[in-house]
Structure 1
Amino acid sequence: MTSTAPIAPPASAVPQGPAVLVLEDGKRYEGRAYGATGHTLGEVVFSTGMTGYQETLTDPSYAGQIVLMTAPHIGNTGVNNIDMESRKIWVSGFIVRDPARRVSNFRAERSLDEDLNSDGVVGISGVDTRAITRVIRSAGAMRAGVFSGADYELSVDEQLKLVREQESMEGKNLSAAVTTLERYEVPVAAGVERLGTIAVLDLGIKRATVQYLSEHGFDVVVLPASTTLAQMRELAPDALFFSNGPGDPAASDEQVELLREMLRDGVPYFGICFGNQLLGRALGFSTYKLPFGHRGINQPVLDKRTGRVEITAQNHGFAVDLPIEGEHDSPAGLGRVQVSHYSLNDQVVEGLECLDIAAFSVQYHPEAAAGPHDAFYLFDRFRQLVKNRAAAESGAKENN
């Protein structure tokens, strides 16, 4: 078991009580409490984004995870209501090196630590985030806990026991915890040609995604993750979308079966992040857990169709298990499939394209909230796919 001394906070920073980050391998990192106090448990992961911490914190895909920011200075732009990607902060815990001593941005409405406190998010500051990142990159994402306040006084053995007794992210289904409780609708944006109705299965969706689907011609119907095949068919959507979300795709059999049957019905499909992994499973392929995943807004991806390199926003710890070259027959009988995008860092599958049905997906976040806009064209590509499908069906009816 190793231990490191805390990094001294700036002299002008507001002093806070002690806190400790405990990893399941026994490593301990002493620091200062940041946000709420108490203790929290989760899978510790790192995000490489230098900006966009508010979008990260409010992204439901991070549920169950203690997020470490590799950028050293966090909180200087504060937080505001416009940049919220959902109704609250979802991370289980938050790790930063140097929290901002003051907010300095004209858009700020509150400080970051105010939101961490109000949402009960236990965090830690003043630790060597670079050293912790190197540990995660070598050993892989692991279970961890942050302890502060009265829970800081727990013995070393008690803290480590709590960390090791928690469930692993593998096999965990978190969709029910983050999905909308009730169906809601967002009409097509004003001045945009209506293309049809799109059913969105909310597995942890971000607000920006719904907004952009609306702006691309869809009446958006957002549905709970528990939506059944009968309910989906009763809606009879013109297109289908599965969102990003947390958890293990291997633990989402009901959503996989729903998607497989809708694909057999011929409904055009677009999925992102978790929706990419579920498409892989619906097609009959398997998924696996990455050592430490991809998180941040600077992940390079190659689009095989164009040869263009895109810088993308990502947050995933699982991936589809498929060779990146060649065409593959769907074991579920849904035709030929190819990998459309892959990571330039480690050749992980970053996109799937079906060649015989109207469906494709990507592993990253084209809505770029926060992040680059390199992949925003995918919304246009999906719009064209739906239009082509509608035109083909119309032509077939006329010929008959």
Structure 2
Amino acid sequence: MTRPGFRGIAAAVLAAAGMLAAAAPCAAAASGEWQSLYERAGRHYAGGDAAAAEAAARQALRMARTAQRRSDPHVASSLNLLALARQAQGDAAQAAELLREALALSERALGAHANTAALALNLGGALEAAGRGEEAIAAYERCLAIGEALPGGADGQAARLRKNALSALSALAAGLGRPEQARAYDRRLLAEEDSTLSGRERADALARQAQALQEQGGADEAAGLHREAAALREAADPDDPALAGHYNELALWHMQRKEYGEARQRFEQALAQARKREGAARALPEAAILASMAKLAEQQGGTAQARQAYGAALDIYTGLGDADEALAGRSQILNQLAGLDYRQQRWADAERRFLEALRLLEQAAGPADPRLLPVLDNLDTYYASRGQPDKSREFARRAAELRQPVPAGSGS
């Protein structure tokens, strides 16, 4: 069944909020030109002008490094803003190096201070963006350790640091294929006092727990968590587009249980929420939900309705051009339509669509991606049933090769 990629949205917002958390100076505000440059860089960054923020941050950094009475916290603050500006322009690797230096300076000057923790959080975000997950976990863990050691305060700074670190750790652990570790972080996050977590943040944690349970076969328990998360989001903002993900998961759960009326109702709710977004953020979930609704119609014997829904999903994916995700979506829809053609003995249409589905997915993902297996298996079955054993064996061979375990230490 089709599962749209809803879950990354909240994690990205949390990461952005965490990056801004360290934008305050790491020590008492310096007077004069440095402070003016620093504040200018911060305003440019907050306004979305990363290039201007970089220029001002570089000036502030030069001034902080060459000051007669050099202040390491001021150097660290300048490095932090420069890193944020570089990462906003797509250079996560350089951002990580700048933040490493800033963190080392803050550790030396301030020790286990809230600003040190915020720099560690930012470093984790940069490392994660650069694809260095293990190093990112270590940085997030450093932020969490400091946050847990800090005394509570009226401004809730320590609680916010813990919350941001645990959210980032859970999302990253899930992305690295460690569902149990992700669930452990989320349990700690949910154990935070209610006053430190918004309803949306609790919903994010519940959604990650639900995802981990689904991957381990705990569909019923996951459905309960999706209901709880949906209720929290509905109470906070009934128009929250993230509700589409929860409604979609609940629809798929009802569909598995052959509770078709409930499934259709949830799919319609998911579709309505997805359509509250714009651009690709709307199109990709909308197309995926339509594909699931087509599958639901198929299961109920509504072939014409299924074709109509598949066609609508295919039009959306086609409109997104040659992006990999759009090509993969088109491939999936064509594979489903070819299956309908095959069952209705529309042989030429089935063959054409199966082959086009294979071509598109190879274009998007290459010739050795495991997602090719359903199309390869279908082509094997198609040609075997049509009395073309040579073609059937070729697709069976490719499928068998993809199913071979990857040798340890191969690096692939």
Verify same fold: TM over 0.5: no
TM-score calculated relative to the size of structure 2: 0.24
Which structure's CA Rg is the greater one? 2
TM-score calculated relative to the size of structure 1: 0.25
More strand by share: 1
Higher relative contact order (CA 8 A, sep 6+): 1
